[in-house]
Amino acid sequence: MLAWPAFALLKASTDCHITALVPGYTQPLAELCPSIDEVIIDPGKAAGEQQALLNVLKAGKFDAVICLFSNFRNAKLMWQAGIKQRWAPATKLAQMLYNHRVKQRRSQSAKPEYEYNLDLVRTFLQHNQLAINEPQAPYLSFDTAELTDFKIAQAQQLGIAADQPWLLVHAGSGGSANNLSISQYADLTRRLQAAYPQLQTVLTAGPGEQALAQQVVDAVGPDAVGQRAVLAHDLPLPDFCRLLACGSLFIAGSTGPLHIAAALDVPTVGFFPLRRSATPLRWRPLNSEGRHLAFHPPANAQVEDMSQVDMAEVASAITPWAREYVY
């Protein structure tokens, strides 16, 4: 998801045909991206698949490649494919197989990941004397009428009101970063429900996360008028994205769904550890200015100890900020 601004910058600044080389599990997202014209699946390290992939790359007769993530395997493939302009960060031994390298020092986490990706594309555009047209959020959107119909259908299925604001909470992490506990998510949800009784609370769950999300639903319990949070799960990835687009507010740890919601410019609240490679700055979502709040453990806590994030303080910060989005 944090490559989407780079794709958008390329599409806005050139008339080129953009092909994305992605692993299979991100194919549905890549196919949703309005700035991508074609998708090639990277089979990974499987030895028997490398020649077939190389044949596809050669047949594509690409003028340039920008490797946002570089390793020796894909560096070698791009070199073997004979692509004339090969761009990548100048951070690994594999950089010797590229003929255009950009010093970035990503390990310092001095700026958001998507900005590092944008810097690569800007340098490519400058080298080729192409005007730079900076993209703006949202990077993903759906037809308004289509989304309205989808929200009505989902509301009927979930037993909630389609004409009230939806609070979406994603408690899973996919192992990408330390996360809040079930009790913390439940505590925060109850506080926000008390502040905004009109909120319809939906717990979202990806593959393997249904049981965890259900525990949060159970821990939240009924609100002041007896309404309970509901659970949305087993949605195909495009429909999962549509569900996120229906939200007035999205809450999650530092994980993929947070970045999908941000690409839609749904207001997001994210929870991050303080480890340098995982900070709120490095993994800042794609929201436009003012539509994201980030929280992390206090400075005197262990960098990975998310239990030290105080939900009362978090709710006090979210409540006035969210007023614009939940009415």
Taking the model in full, what pTM does it have?
Answer: 0.94
Q: What pLDDT does 32 receive?
A: 96
| Same fold for the pair 4-127 and 146-322 | yes
Closest CA relative to residue 199, chosen from 151, 158, 154, 248 = 248
Instruction: Provide the CATH topology of domain 4-127.
Output: Rossmann fold (3.40.50)
Torsion of CA 311, 316, 322, 324, to 10 degrees: 170
What secondary structure, in 3-state letters, does 12-27 show?
A: HHCCCCCEEEEEHHHH
DSSP state at residue 55: H
Q: Are 289 and 319 in contact (CB under 8 A)?
A: no
DSSP state at residue 278: G
The superfamily in CATH containing domain 146-322 is Glycogen Phosphorylase B; (3.40.50.2000)
How many angstroms separate the CA atoms of 222 and 241, rounded? 27
How many angstroms separate the CA atoms of 285 and 155, rounded? 27
Q: What pLDDT does 177 receive?
A: 63
Residue with tokens 């949800």: 189
Beta bridge partners of 253: 271
How many angstroms separate the CA atoms of 75 and 198, rounded? 52
Q: What pLDDT does 256 receive?
A: 93
Domain boundaries, the chain: 4-127, 146-322
Beta strands in the chain (DSSP E): 19-23, 38-42, 64-66, 85-89, 100-102, 166-170, 200-204, 230-232, 249-253, 268-271, 292-295
Q: What is the pLDDT along the chain (327 residues), one digit of tens a residue?
A: 999 999 999 999 998 999 999 999 899 999 999 999 999 999 988 767 889 999 999 999 999 999 998 889 999 999 999 999 999 998 777 788 999 999 888 888 889 999 999 999 999 999 999 999 999 999 999 999 999 999 999 999 999 999 999 999 999 987 666 899 999 999 999 999 999 999 999 999 998 999 999 999 999 999 888 899 999 999 999 999 999 999 999 999 999 999 999 999 999 999 998 887 778 999 999 999 999 999 999 987 787 889 999 999 999 999 999 999 997
